[in-house]
Amino acid sequence: MVESTPVSGIQPTQEERTLAILAHLLQIVAWWIAPLVIFIIKRNSKFVSFHALQALLLQCVYLFLMCVGVVLWFGTFFIAMASSPATRNGHPPPELFILMPLFGLGWISAWIAMIGIAVVYGVRAGRGEWATYPFLGQLALKILKLGPGGVPL
């Protein structure tokens, strides 16, 4: 479920909306670098820094999950190769033909989810909404010491 909080008081400017959209959409091609640059450049804008920090936190989680996936992938590969009988012209273990495509599908699924999240929240940022990612949105509000709708605590 997508949460958003109506903005009370000052609406974000068109420039702030554009930068918030860029923070979400540029994470598709520039990963964590684009949200970090936008977060640093527009630190004085609560709206832009909130959306850029959300995108940055999402990229940190994504990077962590991809690192765990790589470790699992290599671990599975080496365990499967070590447990297979050693013969001169031996075939690869059948586990590799089952598990390796599953890891690939997992990476593709995560990438498609990232694109979907970036587009949905980019559109919502373009409307001027304080749309929060599940879990990460509340963390971003805490880090920036903001309440719902960007109201300072």
CA 119 remoteness from chain centre: 12
What range defines the domain where residue 115 resides? 14-80+93-146
For residue 1, tell me if it sits in a domain. Answer: no
In a domain, 6, yes or no: no
Question: For the chain, what is the domain count?
Answer: 1
Summarize the confidence of residues 49-61 as an average pLDDT. 96
| 86 located within any domain | no
Is 9 within the bounds of a domain? no
Predicted confidence band of residue 36 (pLDDT cuts 50, 70, 90): very high
Higher-confidence residue of 147 and 25: namely 25
pLDDT in tens, 96-143: 788 888 888 999 999 999 999 999 999 999 999 999 999 999 999 999
DSSP 14-71: HHHHHHHHHHHHTHHHHTTHHHHHHHHHTTT-HHHHHHHHHHHHHHHHHHHHHHHHHH
Q: Higher pLDDT residue, 136 or 2?
A: 136
128: left (phi over 0), alpha (psi -120 to 50) or beta: left
